Amino acid sequence: MPRLSQKLEQKQKLAPRQVLQARLLQLNTLNLEQAIMKELELNPILEQVEPEDFEEKSMAEEILEEMDAPIEDVYTDESSYYIEQEKSDLPIPDRTTFIEKIIEQLKDLGLSDLEREIAEDILWNINERGYLDTDLILIADNFELEEQDIEPILFAIQRMEPKGLGARDLKECLSVQIEEDKESHAHIILSKYFDDFMHKRYEKIKTKLKCTSEELHDAVEIISKLNPRPGEGYADNFQLIIPDVIVREDGEDWLITTNDGGIPELRISKTYEGGVENGEYSGKAKSFIREKMDSANWFIEAVKQRRVTMVNVMRAIIKYQPEWFGGDMNHLRPLKLQDIAEEINMDISTISRSTRGKFVDTPYGVFELKHYFTDAIDLGNGQVLGTFVIKKELQNIINSEDKTSPFNDDTLVQLLNDKGYKLARRTVAKYRDQLGLPVARLRKEI
C-alpha cells in the first residue's frame, strides 16, 4: 500500500535573469543581432536608440562604471573591424541555392510531372557533400513505389553536372565520373578492386590487373583527380565568419573591442516609462507593462554583461598565451577553461559559453577562441608542454616524409624523441588520429 511521506531537499535553480544572460552569452555576433531584433518585435517596452540619441550615456559606459575593464576595450559605436574592412551598406544580392540550380537542370531531362517530383525529393535529400542522405527505399515509399521504380531517376541525377551528385557511397560517386571509359584501368580498379585501392594494396592490384607500375601509377593519378565530394564547392555557404572580438596592438598593450558596432543600442521606451511614473496605467495594463519593463531591463543588462565577459575572457587568453600574441604562432601554452574561469572569477560553464563558436580577429588572422586552449603533457623530465606544439611538430615530420615509404608510428616516436619530445607510441598514434592523418600504409603513394 502506498505511503505518503515528506522529504526536505535543497536545489539550485537559475533565476530568469541568469538564464537570459547565459542564453545571450552563447550566441555569436550574427545570432545576437537576430535575437535583439526578435526581442524588439516581442517587447513593446524595448526600443532602439536612434543615432541622434547617442549623446546620452551608452550602455557600455553605464555597466562599466563598476566593472574592471576600460570603455575603449568594450564598445565603440563603429568598431575598428568595420572601418578597416570598409563596410558598405550594399543591398544583398538575390541568390539561387545550389539545389535550386540543379532542379533547373531537370527540365532538360524530359521527365513527367511525377518523375520530376520524385527527382526534386531526391535532390532535397542530398547533404552538403553531395551524397544521398537517406535510403532510396524511403523516398520510394513516399510515392508508394518500389525502389527499382525510381532508380532510373537517381541514375539520371547522378549524370547531371556535377557528376556523381546523389551517389550513395564513394565507390558509386567516383564510378559515375569515369564510366565513359569502362575499359580503362582506372574504371576497372573502381569497379572490381575498390577495397584494395582504398587500402592502397597496390601490389595486389598490379598482379590482378597484370599491368606495369607505370600503368598503375597513371590509373591512380586519374582516380585521384576525380571529385569525391561533388556537393562541396557548389554548396550554399552564404554565412560568413564574423569575428565576435577584435584584438589590436596598442603600444605595449592590447586593445580589445567587441565587434558589435552594427548591433542596435537598446533602451526602455520613454513613453511607457513616463506613463508608469505618471500613473497613467492601472490594473492589468499596469501589471503587463511592469512585467515587460522588467524583461526589457534584464535583456539590456544581459547584452551589457555579454560585452564585458567577452572582453575579460579575451584579455585572460592573451595573458596566458603571450608567445602566440607576440608573433610565435607555433607556440601555445597549456590552457584549460578552468584556468580562465579562475583568472576572471567566473564559472567554467560561463567560459565555455563565451568561447564556443566565437571568433577573434587578430593581427595574424581570424581564429576560433577554442584554438587557444590546448591540453598539457608531462614529458617526464620536468618539462610540461602544450599538445599543440607536439602536434605541430608531428605534422611537420609527416609532411616532409617520403610518401613512397612513409614513417610508421614507431619511427615517428623515435623522430619526436630526437627533437626532445619523449612520448609513448599510443600517445603519438592518438595525436596522429586527432590531426586526421592515417597510418603509414594508407599514406603511401606510388
Listed residues 196, 224, 252: the one ending a domain? 224
Average pLDDT of the chain, as a whole number: 79
What is the pLDDT at residue 162? 85
Q: Which of 348, 369, 390 is the last residue of a domain?
A: 369
- Could you tell me if 343 and 390 lie in one domain? no
**Claim to verify: residue 315 and residue 398 sit in the same structural domain:** no
Outline where DSSP puts E strands in 333-430. Answer: 359-362, 365-368, 376-378, 384-386
CATH number, domain containing residue 188 = 1.10.10.1330
Q: What is the pLDDT of residue 67?
A: 46
Name residue, grid cell 513593446.
44
Q: Is residue 186 part of a domain?
A: yes
At 52 the pLDDT is 55
Do 258 and 309 fall into the same domain?
yes
Q: Assess whether 320 and 254 both reside in one domain.
A: yes
Domain identity same for 266 and 195: no
In a shared domain, residues 137 and 245: no
Give the model's pLDDT for residue 92: 38
Rounded mean pLDDT for each run of 10 residues along the chain, 446 residues in total: 64 65 81 86 83 50 48 42 41 53 82 86 81 82 84 89 87 88 86 85 86 87 85 55 88 87 81 77 81 87 90 93 87 86 87 86 90 77 71 86 86 85 83 81 74
Do 123 and 202 fall within a single domain? yes
Tell me, what's the pLDDT at 73?
A: 47
- Looking at the 3D structure of the chain, how many domains does it have? 3
Q: What is the pLDDT of residue 290?
A: 84
Q: Are residues 273 and 364 in the same domain?
A: yes
Judge if the upstream peptide bond of residue 162 is cis by omega within 30 degrees of 0: yes
Backbone angles phi, psi at 128, to 5 degrees: -65, -20
CB 298 within 8 A of CB 17: yes
- Answer yes or no: is 171 within a domain: yes
Q: What is the pLDDT of residue 379?
A: 67
- The confidence score (pLDDT) of residue 64 equals 46
Same domain, 365 and 259: yes
DSSP state letter for 378: E
Does any domain span residue 10?
no
Identify each DSSP E strand in 36-75 by its residue range.
46-48
pTM over cut 0.95: no
- Residues 332, 339: contact at Cβ < 8 Å? no
Containing structural domain, residue 45? 17-83+241-369
Task: Give CA separation, 353 vs 60, 123, 244, 304, in Å.
Answer: 21, 36, 13, 16
* Whether 307 and 410 share a structural domain: no
Q: Which long-range contacts (CB under 8 A, 24 or more apart) does 147-155 make?
A: 150/118, 150/122, 153/111, 153/115, 153/118, 153/119, 153/122, 154/122
Do 152 and 39 lie in a common domain? no
* Segment 232-276, tens digit of pLDDT: 655 444 446 788 999 998 888 899 988 877 777 888 888 877 777
In a domain, 310, yes or no: yes
